Structure 1
Amino acid sequence: MKVEIAKHAGYCYGVERALDLTSQAGKSPDKLIYTLGPIIHNPQVVNRLETNGIHHIDSIDEIDKGTVIIRTHGVEPQVVRKAKAKGLKVVDATCPFVKKAQQCASTLLKEGYDLIIVGERNHPEVVGLLAYAGLNAIVVERPEDLAKLPKEMNKVGVVVQTTQSQENLDAIISGLLATYKQIKVFNTICSATTKRQSAARQLAKKADVMLIVGGKNSANTTRLTQICLEMNPKSYHIETASEIKKSWFNKDDLVGVTAGASTADWILQEVVDSVCSIK
């Protein structure tokens, strides 16, 4: 078998930055270090941080001292204020692209637009965006949701979860244009997301089997899997090499491999090595 890794796969800038900040915090004299929620959506990386003494919490209420690291997806502004009020040291590892989306949401509201967030309602990034909008926003996950929108909106502003697909955004914007006269769109999809999705699509077209490596709780990895399945029915979403099944492959297959933005190089390499070892 031949293995080919997608041109764009694995850690993005935002994830690398967050992990660098977490690593730096881990070297400080303060031994009480926590991430607010998993720092990224990858269980294996989060578990490795746990073994290094960096634990994740679900609420600021769980701790009274130490350092708290804000995860890549960002949090509601009031959470940061609460942490500082408790005397906690705050390290903000929010992805810069997520911060841009938050700023765009605030700008649209100040300009008098009715705000629409294109994304997954329960995703941490979208929850944070809603908070920046003062909950004065509507979440649209897919084009079918447009039928539920109020027709009386005059000025519609749009921001996007950074890991959404361009195709989903285009379909939603097309639907909005058919109903509303004045629309302003900030396309806040991360450029790395677009490149990763495009590279995965191209590789899935020519591969016999496609492996998508990343956390099952990762939105961008799930989206990569959806894209690959559209191109190739023999596409499999796995977290680690241990999930690989020999029955998926034939001896002369071209096996394509891509990975989500939260997938570490060592996890990706273990998958490649495992496939190459199949006889």
Structure 2
Amino acid sequence: MVQKVFTKPVVLCQRRSDTGYREESGGSLGSEKKGTTGDLELVFAEPKGFCFGVRRAIAALEESLELHGRVYALGSPIHNPQEVERLLSKGLVIIETPSEMPMGGAVFVRAHGVSDPVMEELRSRNALVVDGTCPFVSKAKEKAALLSREGYTVMILGDEDHPEVKAIRLSSEGPVTVVDPLRLKSFDVEGLNKVGIVSQTTQREEDLSALVSGVSARASETRVFNTICDATSSRQRSVARLAGSVDGIIIIGGKNSANTEKLFEIAKTSGTPTLWIEDEEGLERGWLEDKTRIGIAAGASTPDWLIHRIATRLASAKSAREDGW
């Protein structure tokens, strides 16, 4: 885990790479996968499909469903409606609090993780815990707790309503401030001496650097752990590269997915026409007109089977323009 301690307003953020888990990386533009669909060329940003953490969590959940038949999940297990429906059909039951599950039942903790107090409540109910917490999220929780114990005011870059951020915040004992990336110019650090910074794993590197720059210029000491996931950053870089070489970009992912939203923002900011869809029903005939080269990118919670289904639908685009699709 890379950390930096600043006693002067100097910024140096490095990516964490000591987790011991294989991390997906984005290929260069030349390595992105291509496919032709009639008079449309599709260029897929890599990586796509589930990230390591989500793939690991869903595999554990499916194994538990096969074993127990019914498994309770604290909140939506994944930010993709289509995949959630598939899992519900296998016996998944979504609950909001541990009190809703029977004593001794099997409960799934999603990749976003839960706070330490919630985990203790699950254990008190003798729950069989299927822990799908992403190792990267666990590291962010650990580093925030460490900073708190060492007397730092913890700042988390992220969305305060996101389950991952809630898990990180509630696992820290001292004062914690969540900084929205859209409000980087207005957050207040006056009166703070020692500030420790971590990030929601799906945030942008540029925003983390901006936060560190602003804090280190005003606080007497700034300690930073870069907890942004490499799989997130590689997708963002891939979309940024792809944007300048296509006529339009389609982003596939749940509208409640934070990392998918970041991909959409990056593509849209580039000026390239961008369409964000959850499934093939979101494809728009008019949007495809006058476009021959389409970029396809998907969030870390988007399953391969859904990407394939949308690509298949796009493959019919030429005839669809004639038959009213």
What is the TM-score with the length of structure 2 in the denominator?
Answer: 0.82
AA aligned opposite 1:86: R
Matching residue of 1:202: 241
Structure 1 runs of 4+ off > 6 angstroms? none
Q: Tell me the distance in 2 between the aligned counterparts of 1:151 and 1:176.
A: 10
AA aligned opposite 1:222: E
Matching residue of 1:81: 120
- When residues 245 and 147 of structure 1 are mapped into structure 2, their CA distance, relative to the original with a 3 A threshold, is closer
AA aligned opposite 1:43: P
> In 2, are the aligned partners of 1:130 and 1:136 still within 8 Å (CA)?
no
Post-superposition shift, 1:252? 5.2
Q: Tell me the distance in 2 between the aligned counterparts of 1:228 and 1:145.
A: 21
> In 2, are the aligned partners of 1:104 and 1:186 still within 8 Å (CA)?
yes
Q: Tell me the distance in 1 between the aligned counterparts of 2:118 and 2:305.
A: 33
- When residues 7 and 150 of structure 1 are mapped into structure 2, their CA distance, relative to the original with a 3 A threshold, is closer
* Equivalent in 278, 302, 312 of residue 239 of structure 1: 278
Matched, 1:59 2:71: no
* Equivalent in 206, 226, 238 of residue 167 of structure 1: 206
After the TM superposition, which residues 37-186 of structure 1 pair with which residues of structure 2 at under 5 Å, given as runs? 37-65=75-103, 66-134=105-173, 136-142=175-181, 144-145=183-184, 147-186=186-225
Structure 2 runs not aligned, ≥5 long? 1-39, 319-325
> In 2, are the aligned partners of 1:34 and 1:67 still within 8 Å (CA)?
yes
Q: Tell me the distance in 2 between the aligned counterparts of 1:77 and 1:200.
A: 35
Q: Tell me the distance in 1 between the aligned counterparts of 2:183 and 2:96.
A: 32
Structure 1 runs not aligned, ≥5 long? none
Post-superposition shift, 1:93? 0.5
Post-superposition shift, 1:236? 0.8
Post-superposition shift, 1:32? 2.9
Q: Provide the aligned length of Structure 1 versus Structure 2.
A: 278
Matched, 1:219 2:258: yes
> In 1, are the aligned partners of 2:201 and 2:227 still within 8 Å (CA)?
yes
Question: Aligned with 2:255: secondary structure?
Answer: coil
Percent identity over paired residues? 37
From the two aligned structures, give the one with the greater helix fraction: 1
- When residues 146 and 154 of structure 1 are mapped into structure 2, their CA distance, relative to the original with a 3 A threshold, is farther
Matching residue of 1:4: 43
Matched, 1:26 2:65: yes
What is the TM-score with the length of structure 1 in the denominator?
Answer: 0.96
Post-superposition shift, 1:251? 5.4
- When residues 143 and 248 of structure 1 are mapped into structure 2, their CA distance, relative to the original with a 3 A threshold, is closer
AA aligned opposite 1:51: S
Q: Tell me the distance in 1 between the aligned counterparts of 2:313 and 2:192.
A: 54
Measured on the aligned residues, the alpha-carbon RMSD in Å equals: 1.4
**Offset from partner CA, 1:25-84 (integer Å, 9 cap, x none):** 0121x3331111111111111110000111211111111132000011011111111112
AA aligned opposite 1:185: V
**Offset from partner CA, 1:150-179 (integer Å, 9 cap, x none):** 412111110000000111111111111221
Question: Aligned with 2:297: secondary structure?
Answer: strand
